[in-house]
Amino acid sequence: MGKTRVIFVADSLDNAYQLQHVLSSMNADVAAGSSLQFDRLLSSASDCDLVVYELSTLEHGDASAVRRRVLDAGEAALLFIVKEELLAAFACPQSPTCDFVVSGASEAEFEARIRMLLGSCDESSPSEIIHVDGMTLNLATYQVNVNDEPVDFTYLEYALLAFLVTHAGRTYSRDALLRHVWGFDYYGGSRTVDVHVRRVRAKLGPDLANHLETVRGVGYLWD
């Protein structure tokens, strides 16, 4: 087996020591640079297996924008390193090949996250396209088609739908959905979930909306 090819993007050395130990133990070739060098790194290593991107601020674009840049360059998995103070504003893209870890995590956690992501890529082509009746949900491009027609979802509407569809058969409370989808405790109240569910149902149409069930007194599930 050849070496794992990794791009490490960071504007500080806060997590470099842990990553160096973990990646060297995994027989990885690493190309490192700052966020300003990100596009150059991607273009020179389009066949890389993993991108580790440290989000020291949110000024360089949100996580979804970074994900799209990685997808435009190839099929690498993506691990975000997020400072704890940024977690309230961070929403990790819903994808089996995208994850995050809090800055300053242990080497063991870094390694576990990386191995899980690389394992997702190495499995027999896990599809990022999900078909349900007349709906096609593309987890890679954040697009939804219903009966071959594109449906315009906001990011949070899409993220809510994608989360429930990829966790079908499980019921989630409003608070749990806020944690998983919004990524933080929404101070405006958990009823914002109800508003987004209504919008998602309306855009899906009556047949598909039946899959998004209300579990009285608990929350929602995708059946």
Q: Is the pLDDT of residue 212 over 70?
A: yes
- Cα 33 versus chain centre, distance: 22
What are the start-end ranges of the E strands in the chain? 4-9, 28-33, 50-55, 77-82, 98-102, 129-132, 135-138, 143-146, 149-151, 172-173, 212-215, 219-222
Question: Per residue in 169-198, pLDDT tens?
Answer: 888 888 888 877 776 544 556 678 899 999
Are the CB atoms for 92 and 100 separated by under 8 Å? yes
Map out the domains of the chain as residue ranges. 4-122, 129-222
Q: Which strands sit side by side in the sheet containing 143-146, from one edge to the other?
A: 129-132, 135-138, 143-146, 149-151
How high is the mean pLDDT of the chain?
82
Global pTM?
Answer: 0.56
Q: What is the pLDDT of residue 13?
A: 87
Fold topology of 4-122:
Rossmann fold (3.40.50)
Q: What is the pLDDT of residue 108?
A: 84
- What are phi and psi for residue 125, nearest 5 degrees? 45, 65
Give the span between the Cα atoms of 142 and 161, in whole angstroms: 11
Residue 90: pLDDT band with limits 50, 70, 90: confident
The region of weakest confidence among 12-21, 180-189, 213-222 is 180-189
- Amino acid identity at 195: V
Q: Which of 38, 23, 185, 1 is nearest to 113 (CA)?
A: 23
Q: What is the pLDDT of residue 202?
A: 94
Q: What is the pLDDT of residue 123?
A: 43
Pairing relationship of beta strands 172-173 and 77-82 according to DSSP bridges: unpaired
Are the CB atoms for 29 and 1 separated by under 8 Å? no
Tell me what the mean pLDDT of segment 156-165 comes to: 87
Residue 122: pLDDT band with limits 50, 70, 90: very low
Task: At 47, list the tokens.
Answer: 């066949």
Q: Which of 164, 150, 170, 166 is nearest to 98 (CA)?
A: 166
Q: Is the pLDDT of residue 46 over 80?
A: no
Same fold, 4-122 and 129-222: no
Q: What is the pLDDT of residue 125?
A: 39
Q: What is the CATH number of domain 129-222?
A: 1.10.10.10
